[in-house]
Structure 1
Amino acid sequence: MIEAFAKLGPTTEGIQKPGVGSAAAWLAHIDLLKYVIQSDLSSALIMEDDVDWDVNIKDQLSKAAETVRNHTGAPFEEQNPYSSNWDVLWLGHCGDIPRDNETFTFFQDPTVVRHSAYEGFAAGYLRDHFPEGQRAVYKSQGAICTYAYAVNRKGVRKVLEYVSGGQEQAFDTKLFHGCRSGALECISVNPELFRHFTPDEKFGQTSEVDKQNWGGEEKISKTAEGEKKGGAAAESSKYSVAKKITGTTKNIKESARCKALWDTTCTGRRESITDMIKNIAFGHS
């Protein structure tokens, strides 16, 4: 079934087919969208299994929900706390650069990372267009990576119909093109509230998608074999202290995953003294 889905549609120049790992992940998204319809849920948040979030996620989502309602002009009697005036609500992504002249609704959030600590392709845009300490809600046409996205009863059938045909490199790029083309009505919260946790690079690739797409199993096997030859000293230095075996969650100030496992934050790049001076010099206080 996975191989058949990966080969759906004609072979057309410019249209990429998903790899085996991407096709398997894509089918899992389709199954979850079907489940939302079959269960007649009013809304659902779909998260990838390596996702992470801030320990303050409840407060973050409460503010985001109010801002989404305001931005979409939800009537008072609308019962969905995030309104229903969208097909996809993109809460977790690896970046989103809005179109020119986009209309933003900002909200204050003390848990958002500083611009100088934000990592990803959208870092420059956020620095130049977003106030420090604030997140924005707007019509999404540039989000990529489906770490966490919501669907609702009104739009989930439209989303399912759009993504079920395959013929794209991965599920997230298919959804991205649906939002950009206007086939789907999408709303983003940016900077993101959910992000994937990345294990320490010495462990190699651990994603089931990457294992099947890029030979991660072999990479992990070679890494383990090399450490085995290194003897007891190498084994001890790497695994004896559990708190040192941590990865990172970019753009999340206080990782819930790392708080639970190692009582640490696992943030990505920290703001340096140089960055702080630059922020002050350019008015990003």
Structure 2
Amino acid sequence: MELLHRGKVRDVYSDRPGEVILVATDRVSVYDVVLPTAIPDKGKLLTSLSLWWFEQLADVMPNHVISATDVPAEFAGRAVRCRQVDIVQVECIARGYLAGLGWDAYRETGKISGVEIAPGLLEGDKLPEPVFTPTTKTAPEDGHDEPMTFDEVSDAVGAELAETLREKTLELFKRATAITDGRGVHLADTKFEFGLAKDGTLLLADEVLTSDSSRYWRDEDWKPGQRQVSYDKQFVRDWARDLGTWDKTPPGPEIPPAVVEETRARYVAMYERITGLKWD
């Protein structure tokens, strides 16, 4: 196999023309820095949840998955064989609640990615309607992702594709929230990635609705007006931010064993609550 790319969390290999193998590792990154401590089973949890969601959303949009079993034995459980696609260079984010950078932008300007949001909302509040708030797709060595307006997306990829990205992002998000709402989960926001196959078909790609790419809150914890209890990577971000001693540049700090254990437990808990399956 040929290693094509090593990302913050995923490694991409090729062993056949037109196909790639996406391998999810146990690495964890915050603020675009890979931390030196791994989270046990994280790669398998991300892969399993992503595959479950690809199945749930297959009638909304085709995806790049070929097989979860036709992969090298050493990657079993944390790898997916996929069609090779050209990833659209826009991070397609849907938001249903005010949190994270979306909350910061709203508090400062009343807008997120140029979209006007109703005034008077609190941190953690549900938005009147989900919104499409794209960002640039920037390599960590080149800086951080920056918010994009819809017009900027149109300039970058063309008006027709931009409209499709917005439409599909919101359609996928609404389908996902219809599922999570019935399972005691608030899907606050998530990031989708899309890719163009050789025949020009737009496919849902990369990971989908994992605890790395999404913000998940339990119904019983949701309290607008404050920082929410996160069952996703935000738990590690909050720990790193609250240290007060790290400037968010490499090298990142070691994660204490108690935080590692709690992070894994939250990933498992959200996997089980969303899928209804027991994590083994």
For the criterion TM > 0.5, the same-fold answer is no
Larger C-alpha radius of gyration, 1 or 2?
1
**Bigger relative contact order, structure 1 or 2, given CA contacts below 8 A and separation 6+?**
1
TM-score if structure 2 supplies the norm length?
Answer: 0.31
TM-score for both structures, normalised by structure 1: 0.31
